[in-house]
Amino acid sequence: MSPEQPAPWPDYEPDEVAFLEAGGGPGRSCPAPELLFPAQEGALPARLQSRIAAHLEHCGLCQDLLLATTDLPAAGLTRIERDRIRSRIAGSDRSESRGQSWRWWLRPALLLTAAGTLALVAGLWTVRTVTPGVTPAVPAQPAIALAAPSVPSVLRFERAPLPAENDALLWRSGRVEAVDETSRELARAHEAYRRGDFAAASHGFGLVAKLRQDDPLVHLYLGVSELHRHRFSEAVLELSTAQRLAGRDRTISSEAAWHLGYVFHRNGERERAIATFEDLCRGTTVRSALGCAAALELSRGAQDARR
Amino acid sequence: MKDFDEAYAKHADAVFRYALRLVGRRDEAEDLTSETFLALHRNIAGLDLSQLPGWLFAVARNKAMDYWRHSKVEARYLDTLPPPETTWSPPLQMWLSESKALKPIHRACLILRYVHGMTREEIGGQLGISDVQVKGHLQYARALLRAEMERKAP
């Protein structure tokens, strides 16, 4: 029973109602049962701990409940839960090892890009606000248009140098044979992405995505390729998938979120774009600064439009 | 990896049960178990495996403390607590407390249903049994308690 959703009093059956009447009616003077064991283990924060401990001291019923449930052999993991946990750990392991191979240069590069974008946004804002005697013109495009030059510049940056899978890089350099056909396809897709052939890139990443369905990076590149092709609904689907699969890999998930916000903006879905950028803004990655700037500009644009 | 797989196969159930008791929600317990074994996966190279499963329980407990310390969770529960001076108990609670006939499972089902107002599904989730089993335990426990009430009635 979670306190966030107070359960309605259960629909008692006639026999239960008769039992309750004979017993003097139900009572609700005890704290939520899920607090009892953590209180016994000393795992609650101080205020909660002292309140529950004080209650437990004088409430025989809660002591009984604690004893009764301690004696019960609570059910363990179901097969589905067990497999889900195992695959989460495996996924984290993969993304960690993959991340180590390319993030060393991606992070500082993104930091530089973010700083450049912020400087650009700040510069344009300053020009708009401090030019004496000039009434700032209402922009014909949404206000994000001010920041828009930064968005393609980020995408251009990502095309070269392109973070590729280790095996794909080795294959391209001719040092080893690609491990399998999927790796070759991935290398070809990256190559197409690099030269700006987004139709070929999209085709290649799409093939690989079918074989590596749980790989967030493949979905990220597929989504960005679709964005370049102005296929916005496909881009949203792939970028959302990348974001979901990235889980706690904040680098990949924030990349996906940034591009997702940009797709919404390009597709004229201002509110969704603002919401996505605001979510991104709450994070701590280098993309977060860009998210804050974009959300701010879009919100200003919305205010201007209302005026 | 072999060590980790062995540890996971051997201790996952126990860690999950402990986590479930610590946080009271199956979805949160799954997350907590997942984080605990992720910590094992990251640290297994430098870990003396004879420390298992104690090490796992300690990690799970620390993660549960983090969960409870989350300000929103704490605030929600503080808001729902009865006042500290509450000592009132309805007669049914006294019957439940004093009955000698009830087994732990019966007592737990009765308290969760008639004191905390939980549904049979919620009770099943809390105790790790099906709602049909809960219904059976409740029927049997009510009969036991009724018989006791009638015996002791003046």
pLDDT, tens digit, 9 for 90 and up, residues A239-274: 999 988 887 777 678 788 888 888 888 888 888 888
Taking an 8 Å cut-off on Cβ atoms, the answer to whether A38 and B68 are in contact is: yes
**Beta strand ranges found along chain B (DSSP E):** none
pLDDT of residue A129: 43
Window from A44-48, A131-135, B15-19, B100-104 with minimum mean pLDDT: A131-135
Mean pLDDT of the region A123-130? 46
DSSP A45-68: -HHHHHHHHHHHHH-HHHHHHHHH
How would you class A41 by CB atoms within 10 Å of its CB: exposed for 0-12, middle for 13-18, buried for 19 or more? Answer: middle
Mean pLDDT of the region A56-76? 75
Least Cα separation, residue A272 to chain B (angstroms): 26
Residue A158 and residue B133: Cα distance in Å, rounded? 58
Which residues of A are less than 8 Å from B24 in CB distance?
32-35, 37-38
Question: Closest chain A residue to B70 measured between Cα atoms?
Answer: A45
Task: Give the tokens for residue A305.
Answer: 């439009």
> Of A32, A212, A296, which Cα lies nearest the Cα of B68?
A32
- pLDDT of residue A115 exceeding 70: no
CB A69 within 8 A of CB A37: yes
At A269-286, the pLDDT tens digits run 888 888 888 888 777 655
SS3 content of chain A, % helix, strand, coil (to 5): 75, 0, 25
Amino acid at A151: V
pLDDT of residue A247: 79
- pLDDT of residue B136 exceeding 90: yes
Amino acid at A226: E
> Of A209, A237, A210, A235, which Cα lies nearest the Cα of A224?
A235
Binning pLDDT at 50, 70 and 90, where does residue A124 land? very low
At A188-203, the pLDDT tens digits run 887 787 777 889 989 9
Percent of chain A whose predicted confidence (pLDDT) is above 90: 5
Taking an 8 Å cut-off on Cβ atoms, the answer to whether B77 and A72 are in contact is: no
At A152-174, the pLDDT tens digits run 333 333 333 334 443 343 333 34
Residue appearing with tokens 């007592």: B107
* CB proximity list for A17: less than 8 A, separation 6 or greater: none
Chain B window 74-93: which residues touch A at a Cβ cutoff of 8 Å? Answer: 74, 76-82, 84, 86-93
Taking an 8 Å cut-off on Cβ atoms, the answer to whether A7 and B119 are in contact is: yes
Chain B window 91-150: which residues touch A at a Cβ cutoff of 8 Å? Answer: 91-93, 95-97, 104-105, 107-108, 111-120, 122, 126-129, 138-139, 142, 145-146, 149
Tally of CA atoms within 13 A in the half-sphere of A298 that contains its CB: 23
Q: Is A80 on the interface with B (CB under 8 A)?
A: no
pLDDT of residue B132: 92
Mean pLDDT of the region A119-142? 43
- pLDDT of residue A298 exceeding 50: yes
- pLDDT of residue A66 exceeding 70: yes
pTM, 2 dp: 0.49
Query: Rounded mean pLDDT of chain B?
Result: 83
Binning pLDDT at 50, 70 and 90, where does residue B134 land? very high
pLDDT of residue B32: 92
Ordered domains of chain B (ranges, CATH):
2-80 (1.10.1740.10), 91-152 (1.10.10.10)
